[in-house]
């Protein structure tokens, strides 16, 4: 494996995840978060040489929406800035690439999305192919249900298997002070909730919320000075599949498997099972089971041993669009740097982090984080 | 769609209907509310002392909080302007008309507004202007509450006094 530059996550801050913050604009939500992230890292804005945001014009209902947050990320004197029209975890990937290219040493990544100002189900419908898929009114819940159905048919997983996964996440989410859905629920309680789109019940679905996030990344030499316990990036890769739902096997996530294989090879990690923590960007239990399958993890919520899976409660307990993925990377950082509070996995040294974009797990990114530098 | 497509199979019509309601945020809501009361509010940077209008919660320049609201006079200077000779979508106004950047006295950034009650050719950099408001009872708490600015007839402001507020 080629020797790469050691890059670490060294700071993170977020706004509370809520259904609607009626008191602040998107930039106003982000402002204290950027300040808190910089302060937690002991940095001034002038220490940051690159910034990248993840957001969506359609979510925010305005063209070039990212440009509105420059006033709180920092834009004077003019700075080196990029943006991805994706979840901010892909902005973090861009920062990592930029650092590999030697063009940045300390960078911030911001995520924001005022989901409460628009209609996410309408917006996400437009993410589909317009002639057939979008035209019949598919939304993310219905495409997720199509996927769940395909997985259940292939694997034999039943409603209870989904309920047990969902219940496990709800129990974990109840302990996460930064989550949105913080009420534990038994499998039986969840199985008693009505169908949202069969075979997915209302109790299995993630609430769509809004927040703002800011992560600080730094290269070796800077990272150790900024953070007492940096979370070093050992490996990362992301892969995308076809947009058309009918042209891929919805019961599997090939792109997760491939991205994981490449990230694990880069990291020198034998498998996801060898990590201490696995944090998945699944917004419902069927997605989690498909991702577990793709990563070679146990298919049952009751499996003993192996890594702690979704100690945060996963995206199932909070899905603030454009931030959901970055929050997974943040969970990896929090777990490895002793910042996860009560839900901290004792002695965690390596974390696998996953996030997804698009309908039916269309695009997937997999990271490996570690408490030690990967390359010496 | 007003007219059905003539050759249907060459394309499809997609009637995008995405509703949005933007929150002004508590801070900008104060500003909008004040317009209804015929007042213009700005916010002062706690670090540089610069005054921003409309108010911002933090200075884009220093990133320090701007937590002091200040009431600004209704008079200022045209810092830069343009003469519009083409019809603009969504605006029914006789052309040519002038859109100008107006630096209110005491503000460090400019507002955009129309300049009326004078010939377009008479507008120039440094000309002093004042706000013309909608009458009482008609103001809604939005930017149209200031209908436009008009020349005051005062002597022009020297270029040096607004060069940093263009």
For residue A90, the tally of other CB atoms under 10 A from its CB is 23
Domain count, chain B: 1
- Residue A227 pLDDT: 97
- Rounded to an integer, what distance in angstroms lies between the CA atom of residue B128 and that of residue B53? 18
Q: Does A78 touch chain B (CB under 8 A)?
A: no
B153: distance to nearest CA of chain A, Å? 36
| Residue at B49 is within a domain | yes
Q: Which residue on chain B is closest to A27 by alpha carbon?
A: B57
- Residue A1 pLDDT: 62
Q: Does A76 touch chain B (CB under 8 A)?
A: yes
pLDDT of residue A75 exceeding 80, the answer is yes
B56: distance to nearest CA of chain A, Å? 9
Give residues 55 to 114 of B whose Cβ lies within 8 Å of A: 56-58, 60-61, 63
A45: distance to nearest CA of chain B, Å? 8
Q: Does A132 touch chain B (CB under 8 A)?
A: no
pLDDT of residue B165 exceeding 90, the answer is no
- Residue B5 pLDDT: 63
- Residue A142 pLDDT: 97
pLDDT of residue B1 exceeding 60, the answer is no
Mean pLDDT, residues A149-154 taken together: 98
Which residue from A21, A31, A75 is facing B57, i.e. has the nearest CB? Answer: A31
Q: Does A67 touch chain B (CB under 8 A)?
A: no
Q: Is A118 within 8 Å of B17 when comparing Cβ atoms? A: no
Fold of A7-118+208-226: Peroxisomal Thiolase; Chain A, domain 1 (3.40.47)
Q: Over the stretch A202-225, which tens digit does the pLDDT of each residue have?
A: 999 999 999 999 999 999 999 999
Which residue from A23, A123, A130 is facing B25, i.e. has the nearest CB? Answer: A23
A75: distance to nearest CA of chain B, Å? 7
Strand partners of residue B98: B83, B115
B116 — pLDDT class (breaks 50, 70, 90): very high
A11 — pLDDT class (breaks 50, 70, 90): very high
- Residue B4 pLDDT: 64
- Best B16, B18, B62 member to test A by mutation, with max A CBs in 10 Å, is B18
| Residue at B2 is within a domain | no
Residue range(s) defining the domain that contains residue B93: 25-165
- Rounded to an integer, what distance in angstroms lies between the CA atom of residue A301 and that of residue A285? 10
Between chain A and chain B, the number of residue pairs with CB atoms below 8 A apart is 60
Q: What SS3 string covers chain B?
A: CCCCCCCHHHCCCCCCCCCCCCCCHHHHHHHHHHHHCCCEEEEECCCCCCEECCCCCECCCCCCECCEEEEECCEEEEEEEEEECCCCCCCCCCCCEEEEEEEECCCCCCEEEEECCCCHHHCCCCCEEEEEECCCCCCCCCHHHEEEEEECCCCCCCHHHCHHHC
Q: Is B20 within 8 Å of A25 when comparing Cβ atoms? A: no
Task: Report the relative pairing of strands B146-151 and B128-133 from DSSP bridges.
Answer: antiparallel
- Residue B2 pLDDT: 65
| Residue at B81 is within a domain | yes
Token pair 């979510």 is at which residue?
A59
Q: Which residue on chain B is closest to A59 by alpha carbon?
A: B20
A181 — pLDDT class (breaks 50, 70, 90): very high
- Rounded to an integer, what distance in angstroms lies between the CA atom of residue B95 and that of residue A153? 66
A376 — pLDDT class (breaks 50, 70, 90): confident
Q: Which residue on chain A is closest to B26 by alpha carbon?
A: A23
Average model confidence (pLDDT) across chain A: 96
| Residue at B59 is within a domain | yes
Which residue from B12, B16, B26 is facing A23, i.e. has the nearest CB? Answer: B26
Strand partners of residue A216: A11, A108
| Residue at B20 is within a domain | no
Q: Is A25 within 8 Å of B16 when comparing Cβ atoms? A: no
Domain-by-domain residue ranges, chain A?
A: 7-118+208-226
Q: Is A61 within 8 Å of B20 when comparing Cβ atoms? A: yes
A43: distance to nearest CA of chain B, Å? 13
Q: Is B22 within 8 Å of A70 when comparing Cβ atoms? A: no
ipTM reported for the complex, 2 dp: 0.89
Q: Does B21 touch chain A (CB under 8 A)?
A: yes
- Residue A270 pLDDT: 97
Mean pLDDT, residues A329-338 taken together: 98
């Amino acid at each position: 494996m080629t020797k790469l530059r050691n890059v670490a996550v060294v700071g993170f801050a977020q706004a509370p995840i809520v259904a609607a913050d009626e008191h602040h604009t998107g930039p106003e939500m982000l402002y204290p978060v950027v300040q808190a992230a910089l302060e937690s890292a002991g940095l001034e804005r002038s220490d940051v040489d690159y910034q990248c945001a993840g957001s969506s014009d359609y979510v925010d209902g305005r063209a070039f929406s990212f440009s509105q947050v420059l006033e709180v990320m920092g834009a004077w004197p003019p700075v080196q800035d990029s943006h991805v029209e994706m979840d901010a975890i892909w902005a973090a990937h861009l920062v990592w690439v930029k650092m590999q290219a030697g063009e940045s040493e300390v960078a911030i990544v911001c995520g924001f999305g005022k989901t409460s100002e628009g209609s996410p189900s309408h917006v996400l419908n437009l993410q589909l192919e317009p002639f057939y898929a979008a035209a019949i009114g598919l939304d993310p819940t219905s495409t997720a249900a199509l996927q769940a159905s395909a997985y259940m048919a292939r694997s034999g997983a039943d409603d209870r298997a989904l309920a047990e996964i969902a219940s496990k996440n709800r129990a974990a989410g109840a302990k996460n002070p930064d989550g949105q859905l913080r009420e534990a629920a038994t499998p039986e309680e969840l199985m008693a909730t009505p169908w949202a789109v069969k075979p997915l019940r209302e109790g299995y679905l993630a609430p769509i919320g809004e927040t703002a996030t800011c992560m600080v990344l730094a290269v070796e030499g800077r990272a150790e000075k900024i953070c007492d316990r940096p979370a070093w990036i050992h490996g990362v890769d992301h892969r995308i599949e076809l947009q058309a739902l009918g042209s891929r096997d919805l019961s599997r996530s090939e792109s997760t498997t491939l991205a994981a294989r490449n990230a694990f090879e880069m990291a020198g990690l034998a498998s996801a099972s060898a990590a201490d923590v696995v944090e998945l960007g699944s917004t419902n239990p069927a997605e989690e089971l498909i991702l577990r399958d793709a990563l070679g993890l146990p298919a049952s919520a009751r499996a003993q041993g192996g890594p702690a899976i979704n100690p945060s409660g996963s995206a199932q307990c909070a899905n603030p669009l454009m931030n959901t993925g970055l929050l997974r990377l943040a969970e990896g950082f929090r777990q490895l740097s002793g910042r996860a509070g009560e839900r901290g996995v004792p002695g965690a040294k390596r974390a696998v982090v996953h996030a997804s974009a698009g309908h039916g797990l269309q695009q997937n990114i997999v990271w490996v984080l570690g408490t030690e530098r990967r390359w010496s | 769609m007003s007219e059905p497509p003539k050759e249907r199979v060459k394309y499809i019509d997609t009637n995008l209907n995405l509703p949005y309601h933007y929150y002004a945020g508590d801070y900008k809501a104060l500003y909008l509310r004040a317009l209804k009361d015929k007042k213009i509010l700005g916010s002062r940077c706690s670090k540089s002392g610069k005054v921003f209008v409309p108010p911002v919660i933090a200075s884009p320049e220093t990133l320090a909080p701007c937590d002091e609201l200040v009431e600004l006079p209704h008079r200022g200077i045209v810092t830069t302007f343009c003469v519009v000779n083409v019809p603009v979508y969504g605006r029914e106004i006789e052309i040519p008309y002038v859109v100008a950047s107006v630096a209110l006295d005491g503000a460090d950034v400019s507002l955009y507004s129309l300049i009326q009650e004078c010939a377009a050719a008479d507008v120039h950099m440094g000309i002093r202007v004042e706000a013309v408001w909608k009458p009482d009872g008609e103001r809604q708490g939005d930017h149209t509450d200031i209908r436009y600015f008009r020349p005051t007839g005062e002597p022009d402001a020297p270029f040096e006094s607004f060069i940093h507020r263009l």
